[in-house]
Amino acid sequence: MKKTTVINSNLSRVIAQMGHYDTLGVGDAGMPVPVGTEKIDLAVTNGLPSFVDVVKNILSELQLQEVYLAEEIKTENPQQLAAIKEIIDVPIKFIPHDKMKADLSNAKAFVRTGEMTPYANIILVSGVTF
């Protein structure tokens, strides 16, 4: 059995296959996933699992280079933004939500959580460990 923290087999596989500058989206239950982008659906019910808990789990295994958040999170969900800033230690770039949705078509996958707050979405950009 796998010893590290990401035990969802599909999520673990995607992280293991990522290279430098590859992207992985994580978001709330309502984020549309483009046709052709793999969706790893972890949502169980309203709020379970939470967006922040899933991101923390992913960060235990994924080396980050930078992240993208929707510009709208600053005004529409400042509590979630504060929580993200507590767990992210790489540059945060803000883009319009519509661009984020379009950029998911280039992501290796999108991880759907049970989060039910607005703009709780992030694009994680893979770094390297050397």
28 is in an annotated binding site: yes
Active site residues: 20
Q: Does residue 2 lie in a domain region? A: no
Q: Does residue 116 lie in a domain region? A: yes
Over residues 23-31, mean pLDDT: 98
Q: In which band, very low, low, confident or very high, does the pLDDT at 2 lie, cut at 50, 70 and 90?
A: confident
CA nearest neighbour of 118 among 87, 78, 82 = 78
121 is in an annotated binding site: yes
Q: In which band, very low, low, confident or very high, does the pLDDT at 4 lie, cut at 50, 70 and 90?
A: confident
Kindly state the greatest CA–CA separation across the chain: 43
Provide the CATH number for the domain around residue 116: 3.40.1650.10
Q: Does residue 58 lie in a domain region? A: yes
Q: Does residue 87 lie in a domain region? A: yes
Question: What tens digit of pLDDT does each residue of 33-87 get?
Answer: 999 999 999 999 999 999 999 999 999 999 999 999 999 999 999 999 999 999 9
Q: Does residue 4 lie in a domain region? A: no
43 is in an annotated binding site: no
Say what the pTM is.
Answer: 0.97
Question: What tens digit of pLDDT does each residue of 86-130 get?
Answer: 999 999 999 999 999 999 999 999 999 999 999 999 999 999 999
* Residue appearing with tokens 């929707």: 70
Q: Is the pLDDT of residue 22 over 90?
A: yes
Q: Does residue 3 lie in a domain region? A: no
Q: Does residue 99 lie in a domain region? A: yes
Q: Does residue 15 lie in a domain region? A: yes
Output the CA–CA distances (angstroms, integers) from residue 42 to 56, 60, 130, in the order listed.
Answer: 14, 17, 31
CA nearest neighbour of 122 among 75, 49, 56, 43 = 56
57 is in an annotated binding site: no
d(CA 85, CA 105): 25
Direct distance between the N- and C-terminal alpha carbons of the chain, in angstroms, rounded to an integer: 27
31 contacts 112 by C-beta, under 8 angstroms: yes
Task: List the domain range (segments joined by +) for residue 51.
Answer: 9-126
How many independent structural domains does the chain possess? 1
